[in-house]
Amino acid sequence: MPSIYDAIKADHDTHRDLLNAIADTNGDSDARRKKWDEFYHDVKSHAAAEEETFYSKLISETWGQDAARHSVHEHQQLDDLMEELNDMDMSSSDWLDRFNTLKHDYEHHIDEEENEVFERARQVIDEGEIEGFAKRFEARKKEERTLIDEKRKDSLED
């Protein structure tokens, strides 16, 4: 089983690939819709699982709280952008502009996690625990995947 860091990094690599694949599409095409749907669902489940397993541990230490809060705040901003994109016409130049903002912001966010947050987390999560965290992360991500559409519907009703 990979470590929590390997599991998160593997998702990030997938997300980078999907962002690049989406950027290579044009208009409201089947290819763009398929890649966007894959990206949207994977990032939503990834972020929820990351917050509930990884960041909940990091926030337990006072010096880790700022990093965790910052990342969770970025998750919310990215989530808002993704929801905005969901409601836009994929063939519009506005959609592409917002997508490029999302791509830039998300790539910045995951680089920051991998280069800064992981270092802080290594001081909080014992070496013997990292595999267990990865298992909990993967299980929670799988569970979250089934809840995405329901959560979106609930948030639209609010």
pLDDT tens digits, 31-57: 999 999 999 999 999 999 999 998 888
Q: Is the pLDDT of residue 62 over 90?
A: no
Q: How far apart are CA 112 and CA 91, in angstroms?
A: 31
The residue among 89, 44, 50 whose CA lies nearest residue 72 is 50
Helices marked H in the chain: 4-23, 30-49, 56-58, 62-86, 93-112, 118-122, 130-145, 148-157
Q: Could you tell me the pLDDT band of residue 152, with boundaries at 50, 70 and 90?
A: low
Torsion angle of C-alpha atoms 109, 115, 118, 122, degrees rounded to 10: -170
Lowest mean pLDDT of 22-26, 54-58, 74-78, 152-156, name the range.
Answer: 152-156
Q: Could you tell me the pLDDT band of residue 66, with boundaries at 50, 70 and 90?
A: confident
